[in-house]
Structure 1
Amino acid sequence: MNLHAIKAIYRFEMTRFFRTLLQSFISPVVSTSLYFVVFGAAIGSRIDQVEGVSYGAFIVPGLIMLSVMQQATSNGSFGIYFPKFIGTIYEHLSAPINFLEITLGYVGAAATKAMFIGLVILATANFFVDIEIQNWPAMLAFMVLTCVSFALLGFIIGIWASNFEQLQLIPLLVITPLVFLGGSFYSISMLPENWQTVALFNPVVYLISGFRWSFFGMADVPIGISLLAIATFTGLCLAVIWWIFRTGWRLRQ
């Protein structure tokens, strides 16, 4: 394992993050604060509680997951797309490092950025609602797993994309709608029975459900199934990345 190569890629990506602090950090925090104002204050004033939890507190895990998934995917995709765009990806491919080391460097940095933003949003939420987290280890574990899995997905998107428009296509048209329909602002038990069945086909439901369980001890699906869903999704992403580097798909063009 070439730790020096992993460290070099990781440090370069983190340095770029802090150079664009306004776009990378302040923007998602402000956007999430607006969600609290709109959903927590406006809608929350009309919904007293959801399963014994105040609505303002209930949406906190969903808002954190929304930001974490978006940021992990965005940072993961742009991190690998930019060297492919300017041609420095060939230096990576010709250097004495394997695909796992390249992936660890870029995905590790993207996951760290998303994790950092998620924790800051969690701290920001305390200014709007009172939050008591029942299981801190589980909360951090779910957040780390989500950051890593969606950073891997972003890495795949960055390799697949051939222009900046495609880079934003899947996050905007696929991931964001799935998060909104995945119980981020409501419990799927509030849906009609038929729609509950349909919602279970949304993989994001399992992520948000497990994350909310770490806060309030309640979940829409069993916690074991949520962990299995995250592990399966992460494994599939790693398998796709291995295949990409093995075949050179979208890399050697």
Structure 2
Amino acid sequence: MNINWNGVWAIFHHEMMRFFRTIWQSLASPVLSTVLYFVVFGAAIGGRIQSVEGVEYAAFIVPGLMMLTVLQQAVSNASFGIYFPKFSGTIYEYLVSPVGWIEVTMGFVGAAAVKSIMIALVILVTSFVFVGVHILHPVWMVAFLVLSSVGFSLMGFIIGLWAKSFEQLQIVPMMIIMPLVFLGGAFYSASMLPPFWEGVAKLNPVLYLISGFRWSFFGLADVPVGVSLVAVAIMVVVCLGIIRWIFATGWRLRE
């Protein structure tokens, strides 16, 4: 299978230029949110919960804050990126151009993933102002960060293809993604819950992402790291299958 890398680069470059045109707005919002999270969770709640499994609470929530940002930014950037061509009618230019579903997906999803990773790293740098964070497994930290950003960018891409309006574009991130992140151990460990609710929490797929990512920082995990990697891999494969089906059938592309 030959991939039109020029087509991939053209889409990727266009999306990144749109991001850099509003770079300060794109970075200011997550930085401000991080400061507020540290004030509310790190200072207020951290004053009552000194540490979690031997890790200072303010440091413990850093991986959760980064993953929260990655999931939000990946979904929103990828969904808006492909929805706007549908809204403006330029989606037909992609459909008749010498690029296939793989090139279109790689261009939009790659740009969304890179944006979310950049903002997550800014969050990490911002956290150093409030607390000292030691990354125990930096290579695995990068691996989980990239895999999670790609996985949720693929999900956002599907949402953008599915949505028929800007209102629908916001439904899934607000009504599903955000609750799953907050219930997925972003600001606490599942082991802190009663046994029944700990079992319920482990039904949340986001828990596996946050658990693996936190392990890369502190060596602490609510579920085995291998299970977290398998969960991310399954998510990527399933999303790719759905995207391939959408482009093969034209569902929601030609409406």
- 1:107-118 to structure 2, matched below 5 A, reads 107-118=109-120
Structure 1 moving runs of 4+ over 2 Å? none
| Structure 1 Cα separation of the partners of residues 234 and 178 of structure 2 | 20
State the partner residue of 2:20: 18
State the partner residue of 1:170: 172
Task: Report deviation, 1:21.
Answer: 2.0
**Which residue of 96, 105, 108 maps to 2:107?**
105
State the partner residue of 2:232: 230
| Structure 2 Cα separation of the partners of residues 156 and 173 of structure 1 | 16
Task: Report deviation, 1:26.
Answer: 1.2
Task: Report deviation, 1:23.
Answer: 3.2
Identical counterparts, % of pairs: 63
Asked if residue 154 in structure 1 is aligned to residue 156 in structure 2, the reply is yes
Task: Report deviation, 1:237.
Answer: 0.4
Asked if residue 207 in structure 1 is aligned to residue 209 in structure 2, the reply is yes
What residue identity is the alignment partner of 1:209?
A: S
Task: Report deviation, 1:213.
Answer: 0.2
- 1:1-253 to structure 2, matched below 5 A, reads 1-253=3-255
| Structure 2 Cα separation of the partners of residues 210 and 122 of structure 1 | 17
CA RMSD after TM alignment? 0.6
What residue identity is the alignment partner of 1:189?
A: S
What residue identity is the alignment partner of 1:98?
A: G
SS at match of 2:63: helix
Count of aligned residue pairs for this structure pair:
253
| Structure 1 Cα separation of the partners of residues 25 and 242 of structure 2 | 30
Task: Report deviation, 1:20.
Answer: 1.7
What residue identity is the alignment partner of 1:21?
A: I
TM-score using structure 2 length: 0.98
What residue identity is the alignment partner of 2:117?
A: M
| Structure 1 Cα separation of the partners of residues 108 and 124 of structure 2 | 25
What residue identity is the alignment partner of 1:157?
A: I
Task: Report deviation, 1:19.
Answer: 1.1
Task: Report deviation, 1:127.
Answer: 0.3
| Structure 2 Cα separation of the partners of residues 27 and 48 of structure 1 | 28
- List runs of 5+ in structure 2 lacking aligned partners: none
| Structure 2 Cα separation of the partners of residues 43 and 218 of structure 1 | 20
What residue identity is the alignment partner of 1:192?
A: P
Task: Report deviation, 1:33.
Answer: 1.4
SS at match of 2:184: coil
Task: Report deviation, 1:22.
Answer: 3.5
